């Protein structure tokens, strides 16, 4: 899994591509933890459009790892999600729904509405 991080108008965009790999989850979650430690109200969009599904065991650990960020003051938004990812995300929502948008522009617009 490859990760590309950029900033768009004060929102951190984390774009993921390739295949989910358990070993790459550590650096990704550590980066997000560091980001939220520096700025507890950080606006984050995680774009999954380039990520490929490789089986339920890989994606379930991926979603479980990301679920901890739903408990933050400003939880991340997700976009570009293929249907198999969307189903797995919905299975793991329990106490806090994931904010899922069709594309990056819609996710960014969501943050613009919050600030106005």
Sorted by where each begins, the domain ranges of the chain are: 2-114
Strand partners, 2: 17
Which residue, 58, 66, 16, 78, is CA-closest to 36?
Answer: 66
Q: Does domain 2-114 have CATH number 3.30.750.24?
A: yes
Q: Is 85 exposed, middle or buried (0-12, 13-18, 19+ CB in 10 A)?
A: buried
pLDDT tens over the chain, length 116 residues = 888 999 998 999 999 998 876 677 778 888 888 888 888 888 999 999 998 876 666 677 777 778 778 776 778 999 999 888 888 788 877 656 788 999 999 999 987 776 54
pTM of the entire structure?
0.85
């Amino acid at each position: 899994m490859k990760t590309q991080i950029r900033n768009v108008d004060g929102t951190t965009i984390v774009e993921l591509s390739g295949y989910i790999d358990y070993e790459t989850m550590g650096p990704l979650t550590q980066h997000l933890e560091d980001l939220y430690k520096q700025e507890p109200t950080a606006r984050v969009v995680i774009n999954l459009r380039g990520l490929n599904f490789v089986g339920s065991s890989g994606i379930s650990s991926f979603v479980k790892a990301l679920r901890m960020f739903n408990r933050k003051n400003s939880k991340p938004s997700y976009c570009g999600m293929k249907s198999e990812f969307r189903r797995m995300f919905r299975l793991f929502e329990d106490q806090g729904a994931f904010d899922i948008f069709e594309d990056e522009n819609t996710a960014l617009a969501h943050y613009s509405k919050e600030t106005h």
